[in-house]
């Protein structure tokens, strides 16, 4: 039985031309498939070319719009909130680093004192000194906490001042824009 839609291995056999006459490829109703395939291929290619042109036009319009928008923006925007936030973060990191250094120095000095006292005193004196050192550590920790709290309070006050300045700047900017119009 002969295949009515296409020649066998027509994709791989260079001797067979899929665009042969109507007699080469006919379907069961006797109509030519070659013409309809060619029409479909032409329609698809035409549509593809049209879509490519539309895509190119759209990209050109986007580039033109981008350049127009870029020219409109002559004054760069400054993100004060981000700058202030980064500054506060840096200050906080610096404070934490200093606190860590102080704590390490205190710990080393206490360890050295403990070593010296161990060699020079008996167990009772050591216990008394150890309790005193613990009290000093507690006092130092409370002092550091108070300093941190004061610094945080100061930072919060500065942040509130900054927020008020930003609000005033926004109001001022709006009124200048409205007056210039």
Q: Quick check: helix, strand or coil at residue 179?
A: helix
Q: What is the pLDDT of residue 108?
A: 92
Q: Quick check: helix, strand or coil at residue 47?
A: helix
Q: What is the pLDDT of residue 20?
A: 47
Neighbours of 175 (CB within 10 A): 10
Percent of the chain with pLDDT over 90: 20
The answer to whether residue 153 scores a pLDDT higher than 50 is: yes
In which region does residue 6 sit, left (phi positive, over 0), alpha (psi from -120 to 50) or beta (all else)? beta
Q: What is the pLDDT of residue 44?
A: 86
The answer to whether residue 146 scores a pLDDT higher than 90 is: yes
Report the candidate in 150, 155, 173 with the shortest Cα–Cα distance to residue 85: 155
| 3-59 tens-digit pLDDT | 455 445 445 545 544 444 444 444 445 555 556 778 888 888 898 899 899 989 988
| 166-180 tens-digit pLDDT | 999 888 888 887 777
Q: Quick check: helix, strand or coil at residue 26?
A: strand
Could you tell me the pTM of the whole model? 0.28
Q: What is the pLDDT of residue 141?
A: 92
Q: What is the pLDDT of residue 21?
A: 42
Query: Residue 116 and residue 125: Cα distance in Å, rounded?
Result: 12
């Amino acid at each position: 039985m002969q295949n009515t839609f296409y020649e066998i291995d027509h994709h791989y056999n260079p001797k067979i031309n899929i665009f042969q006459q109507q007699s080469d490829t006919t379907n069961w109703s006797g109509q030519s498939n070659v013409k309809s395939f060619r029409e479909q291929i032409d329609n698809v290619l035409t549509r593809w070319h049209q879509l490519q042109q539309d895509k190119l036009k759209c990209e050109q319009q986007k580039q033109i719009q981008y350049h127009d928008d870029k020219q409109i923006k002559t004054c760069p925007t400054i993100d004060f909130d981000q700058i202030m936030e980064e500054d506060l973060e840096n200050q906080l990191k610096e404070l934490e680093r200093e606190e860590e250094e102080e704590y390490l120095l205190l710990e080393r000095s206490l360890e050295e004192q403990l070593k010296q006292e161990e060699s020079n005193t008996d167990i009772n004196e050591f216990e008394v000194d150890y309790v005193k050192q613990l009290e000093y550590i507690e006092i130092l920790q409370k002092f550091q906490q108070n300093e941190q709290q004061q610094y945080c309070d100061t930072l919060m006050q500065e942040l509130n001042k900054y927020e008020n300045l930003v609000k005033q700047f926004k109001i001022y900017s709006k009124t200048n824009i409205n007056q210039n119009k």
